[in-house]
Structure 1
Amino acid sequence: MSTGQQVFHEHRRLLFSVAYRILGSAADAEDAVQDAWIKWSSADRSQITQPKAYLTRIVSNLVLEHLRSTRHKRETYIGPWLPEPILTTDDTTDTVTDTESVSIAMLVVLETLSPLERAVFVLKEVFGFSHAEIAKTVERSEAAVRQAAHRAREHVRARRPRFTTDRSQQRKITEQFFAATTGGDINTLMELLSPDVTLWTDGGGKVRQALKPVTGAQTVASWFATISTVTYQGIQPADMHAELVDINGSPGMVFSAPDRVIATITLDFDTDGRITAIHNIANPDKLHAITNGTTHNVATKY
């Protein structure tokens, strides 16, 4: 491995982590990292004194350009837009803050920011860049970056989901929800769900899903209680396999047919441990990272 390859390899996880949080797509993040490698390979590296900063600047500008070019596509998306889920390891994140930054719920909130605000928020709040460093990275004035950071922080603070700090409690509740769902136990589901729980389903127009959020414990419980009894996407319940896995830093569920992954489910909790939101991603275009089985140890430090 050449020196240039070795340096890039050392920072590859960081580059993917930045790109994924800004884009909400593992496939697009991998493409951005690959494009960053191409630019790095052709650069005059003798003039580069800080490879990490240089590579972060390359990948940040690549994902900003991608976000701007796909903005209309996301705005006209069929049904709720949810990020592409990834498999993570139990030790992916060290703190609650780190877990939150890669969660499906947080990525949904970040999607409501402008491309610049999203990039600035990720670089500042997750990776600890200074305003001056971000200004160089996104090629804006430091004043503009400070303004974008303030807007993004206030926006996220107003919409940030509340997280239970006890990961073992999250896993316990997820296991109970998993058992109740696969067993059709509506009574247990009702006990686990917050009265105003919201179910978000993302089929992207590719598979049949609710085009609007489903709200209320009774309706959501009934929805999940029938999973073990109805045919879904032509798959009989007996042919469907479900398992608990770690998705985006928290316990989640993967539902599979004999030949493909068909959906993932992740949960949000209130401070009392009740389920406040459920994200069900079934768009096959967003399940490649889960299908491939690649586990990401997502960087959280710059």
Structure 2
Amino acid sequence: MKINDRVLRSFRVARIYREHTEKVNCVDYSPNGESAVSSSDDDSIVLYDCREGKPTRTLYSKKYGVDLIRYTNRDADTVVYSSNKLDDTIRYLSLTDNKYIRYFPGHTARVVALSVSPVDDKFISGSLDNTIRLWDLRSPNCQGLTNPLGKPVCCFDPEGLIFAAGVNSEMINLYDIRSFDKGPFSSFETQFSRVCEWTGLKFSKDGKQILISSNGGAIRVLDAFDGSVLHTFSGYNNTKGISLEACFTPDSKFVMIGSEDGRIHMWSTESGMKIAVLDGKHSGPINTLQFNPKYMTFASACTNMAFWLPCVND
């Protein structure tokens, strides 16, 4: 089945799970698409089997809290995540035996961005201490640091060779991972017409576009090579300045985002037209949203987790 307008409009909630008692702050799929993991402000981590469509285990990080949970590129059994209690250390956790493999100390303020390389053991983190740090899963020591002079959000490109850093919600710097200590090799400025704060960056799977999420009522798609604005998408509810997560579909042809009224809005990145608004049956704002990288399903979450499936054959 190929992703197209008709298929996306047919998506319906297949399962809803209420494993968390507070806001789900992050959802991630394993690289093979067979597992998913969610983290919550209630300090819990829930594992899901995507083939069976059900939760399989709940773990806890009561002492440190858990946020920005990400699968590593190694397998579906390990994750890294940031802490939202006690300290600002990043933790590398084995999901199999619920034991920490390694700690990554260094940030002196809350980590607000975490991106794992799609090709190797590296990952990057951005913090309110106004630094971006490069790490390797095999070592607790920071492999490199850059100070982009402002609150950074950051992400790897699909080849793991470049990362983008958004600075002060007005500029994107592009760094070569092999020489990022020399500074960005390209920069482009883009400002929203409304006052808002950037809350996330994502490359499309084909590497040609960059998606900027914000806590305002608009998101933006840029050309990843020259920074030109391809589309600015709005028309969804976000009047309270919530950090709503947007994402690309795996084919890079569509963008989707949740809203504070529990609905999901979708646009075509080719035509720029809105192609669907789906009722998520959520009781609150959809804080996080992720499309499965391998299978025709996606997950959305407020306090509850919803898994979606298409209802047409194509």
Q: As a proportion of its length, which structure holds more helix?
A: 1
Larger radius of gyration: 1
How high is the TM-score relative to the length of structure 1? 0.28
Q: As a proportion of its length, which structure holds more strand?
A: 2
How high is the TM-score relative to the length of structure 2? 0.28
